[in-house]
A and B are shown apart, each in its own frame.
Chain A
Amino acid sequence: MSGTDKTTRHSGDGYNFAYLDEQTKRMVRRAILKAVAIPGYQVPFAGREMPMPFGWGTGGIQLTAALLGRDDVLKVIDQGADDTTNAVSIRKFFQRTAGVRTTERTAEATIIQTRHRIPETPLREDQILVYQVPLPEPLRWLEPRETESRKMHAQEEYGVMHVKLYEDIARHGRIVTSFDYPVRVAGRYVMSPSPIPKFDNPKMDDCPALQIFGAGRERRVYAIPPYTEVRSLDFEDHPFAIQRWVESCGLCGSRNSYLDEIILDDRGKRMFVCSDSDYCRSRRETEDSGPTAVVPENGRETREVKA
């Protein structure tokens, strides 16, 4: 048995640049090109098994692997932060298999792979945002069948998306979808923005950066080309609105960023901090905005602001 050969092939060095072989990368890039050409349309692609489990970012990883060049600077975030375990794991994977520079600073990155957030720092034309997507099909909640949901997309049968929003308003007086809030891209395809909070939805609209979405397990790629109109679905008399906090970030004082709630004790003592750790840090570095006091508060209210 030629076991020794195989052992060496298992060691990190034996793999191709950025893990995937060049043919596979080409296949993925073709799928990305098609996705860019048809904004919001889910392009099937022959997703590979990756050395991480499905559901842990394999779609995004394949897109990043296919796009990564030696000069790229990669940033990986999960929940907005660079130091969450899965972000660390994915960043390490590319450090090992591609040896590219990595960064935690949004402004320095050329490719940003993300799960569940869009960075607060506005993106630029020379950046690509790669989303990890668990369930790419926005119609799936209602139509479990791929054959049927594809027809609905083809024929723009999107009435059911509004049925869901209608139900929210009828039952709760407002739209209660708070993340993975469906959008319509370039006036055509209804698309899942992946489970980002709806707070981030407006950032997708007319964004200078290319945004691509990879669903590894479901084997789909879709994209929003730069400067494309992205509208969150809503009603004229119940317009889309994003979350806002009464509180500001306990570390940097930001009033405009998405905040994570931190439970400090078992008596309702909480504080709020930016979910985007890089944004928070740069604010603390540049502006001299010292941490605000922790305000324990019960029954806090948040207000909705029209986007």
Chain B
Amino acid sequence: MSQLINKEAPYPVVPEQSDPDAETERKTASSKPCSPGVDDNPLLIVEDVGKSFNGTPACRDISFMLWPGEVLAIVGESGSGKTTLLRCLSAGIRADNGRTSYCSPTFGEMDVFTSPEHVLRQLHRTEWGLVHQNPRDGLRLGVSAGANIGERLMSLGQRNYGAIRDEALTWMRKVEINGDRIDDLPLHFSGGMQQRLQIARNLVTKPRLMFMDEPTGGLDVSVQARLLDLLRSLCSELHLAVILVTHDLGVARLLADRLLVMQCGRVVESGLTDQVLDDPHHPYTQLLVASILEA
């Protein structure tokens, strides 16, 4: 059984294609005691998640698993429901149905959708990270870069100014921001620097799971490339699991181990990134792939 549940054989995400084996496999996985640190257990199990706005479904019947250290990209054009899905999974909005269980070192196996708010808020300060497309949404623009990075540490009870500062400098170095900007306001940073600062602000507590919404959107191409490189090395260095929403298949190819392709609120195709991109099955995926080739 354990061979079945690994990164190489991801759980089929499209219900139409699901087979009985996969069904049992999912149950086994979710009933297993959570043993954090063991990569054999999925970090996140998403089952039949759906969300509507004013009766119009934005996403529906979404199921997949995410393993520790795995980068999963959700791709699709705007309006495909990928951002809605991300917000449901990160508990930013409440899903209408389905469940998402997360395997937490602190709380054990837990249902994200029914967890009390204080637990979720704690996760967001510790084990999770959230990178907004617009870094201004994820930063405190009115306080210095150092304080932006240090905030999570302070909220976890770090009370040594010098230590917080050292940690902030370490992370600024890791995300390639010059240490002498530590006391500057991010308001005056370039877009790329703001985005790297936002990432550092999230990573300082060494989260296990990051949610990223178009992290390279709005950046020009050369800045994008540098950020992607940085993200790739950070993910492997920190053994980060990432759910990444992007409309850019190039970004997905560079970062993601696996892909979910969404169209009109449903997952139409999923699999290893290279397989999906090199041999797209679903006509919509083919269209997406063809469109970059043309571009």
> In the complex, is A directly touching B at CB under 8 Å?
yes
Question: Binary interface profile of A, 213-251, with partner B (CB < 8 Å = 1, else 0)?
Answer: 000000000000000000000111110000000000000
Kindly supply a per-residue 1/0 record for chain B positions 144-156, scoring 1 wherever the CB is within 8 Å of any chain A CB and 0 otherwise: 1011001111111
Partner of B161, one of A154, A158, A171, A237: A237
- Name the contact of B121 in the complex, choosing from A155, A171, A234, A238 (C-beta under 8 A): A155
Beyond A158-B155, A160-B151, whether A167 also contacts B161 by CB under 8 A is no
**Residues of B in contact, count (CB < 8 Å):** 25
Q: Is the beta-carbon distance between B143 and A159 smaller than 8 angstroms?
A: no
Contacts of B121 in A (CB 8 A): 151, 155, 157
Complex CA–CA separation, A157 to B151 (angstroms): 11
Q: Kindly list chain B residues whose C-beta atoms are within 8 Å of the C-beta of A154.
A: 118
In the bound assembly, the distance between CA atoms of A171 and B156 in angstroms comes to 23
- If A157-B121, A159-B155, A166-B154 touch, whether A237 touches B160 (CB-CB below 8 Å) is yes
Which one of B117, B144, B146, B159 contacts A235 once the chains associate, using CB atoms below 8 Å? B159
The answer, yes or no, to whether B264 is at the interface (CB within 8 Å) is no
A151, B183: Cβ atoms closer than 8 Å: no
Closest Cβ neighbor of A159 among chain B residues: B155
Q: Closest chain A residue to B122 by CB distance?
A: A155
Residues of B near A155 (CB, < 8 A) are 117-118, 121-122
* CA A159 to CA B156, docked complex, whole Å: 7
B164: which A residues are within 8 A, CB to CB?
Answer: 166
Interface residues of B in 128-148 (CB under 8 A from A): 140, 143-144, 146-147
Within 8 A of B (CB), among A155-202: 155, 157-160, 162-164, 166-167, 169-171
- Count of interface residues, chain A, beta-carbon cutoff 8 Å: 20
B162 in the interface, Cβ–Cβ < 8 Å? Answer: yes
Q: Which residues of A contact B151 (CB under 8 A)?
A: 159-160, 163
Interchain CA distance A4-B192 in the complex, whole Å: 75
B-chain residues with CB within 8 Å of residue A164 when the two chains form the complex: 143
Q: A163-B150, A236-B159, A236-B160 are in contact. Are A170 and B122 (CB under 8 A)?
A: no
Given contacts A155-B121, A155-B122, is CB(A163)–CB(B183) below 8 Å?
Answer: no
Cross-chain contact of A170 among B118, B140, B144, B156 (Cβ < 8 A)? B144
Q: Is B272 an interface residue (CB 8 A)?
A: no
In Å, the complex CA distance between A236 and B161 comes to 7
Contacts of B182 in A (CB 8 A): 170
Residues of B within 8 A of A234 (CB): 159
Q: Is the CB of B144 within 8 A of A171?
A: yes
Say yes or no: B147 contacts A170, CB within 8 Å.
Answer: yes
Residue of A nearest to B143 (CB): A167
Q: Who on chain A is nearest to B148 by CB?
A: A163
Determine the distance from Cα of A164 to Cα of B151 in the docked complex, in whole angstroms: 10
Given A155-B118, A235-B161, are A171 and B183 also a contact pair (CB < 8 Å)? Answer: yes
B75 shortest CB reach to chain A, Å: 33
**Assembled-state Cα–Cα distance A164/B155 (Å):** 12
Question: From residue B189, how far is it (CB to closest CB) to chain A in Å?
Answer: 16
Interface residues of B in 153-189 (CB under 8 A from A): 153-156, 159-162, 164-165, 182-183
* B129 CB → nearest A CB, Å: 15
Known A-B contacts A151-B117, A170-B182; A163 and B159 likewise in contact (beta carbons under 8 Å) = no
B-contacting residues, A104-133, CB 8 Å: none
Judging by beta carbons under 8 Å apart, are A159 and B144 in contact?
no
With beta carbons under 8 angstroms apart, the residue of A162, A167, A171 that contacts B159 is A162
Q: Which residues of B contact A235 (CB under 8 A)?
A: 159-161
A157 to chain B, nearest CB (A): 6
Contacts of B159 in A (CB 8 A): 162, 234-236
- State how many angstroms separate the Cβ of A207 from the closest Cβ of chain B: 24
Query: 7 smallest A-B Cβ distances: which pairs?
Result: A159-B155, A162-B154, A235-B161, A159-B154, A155-B118, A236-B160, A166-B147
18 extra interface residue pairs, beta carbon distance < 8 Å, beyond A157-B125, A160-B154, A237-B160:
A151-B121, A154-B118, A155-B117, A158-B155, A159-B125, A159-B153, A159-B155, A159-B156, A160-B151, A160-B155, A163-B143, A166-B161, A169-B161, A170-B147, A170-B183, A171-B183, A236-B160, A236-B161
Between-chain CB contacts (< 8 Å), 18 pairs: A151-B121, A155-B117, A157-B121, A157-B155, A158-B155, A159-B151, A159-B156, A162-B159, A163-B140, A163-B143, A164-B143, A166-B146, A166-B154, A166-B161, A167-B147, A169-B161, A170-B165, A237-B160
Contact residues of B with A, CB < 8 Å?
A: 117-118, 121-122, 125, 140, 143-144, 146-147, 150-156, 159-162, 164-165, 182-183
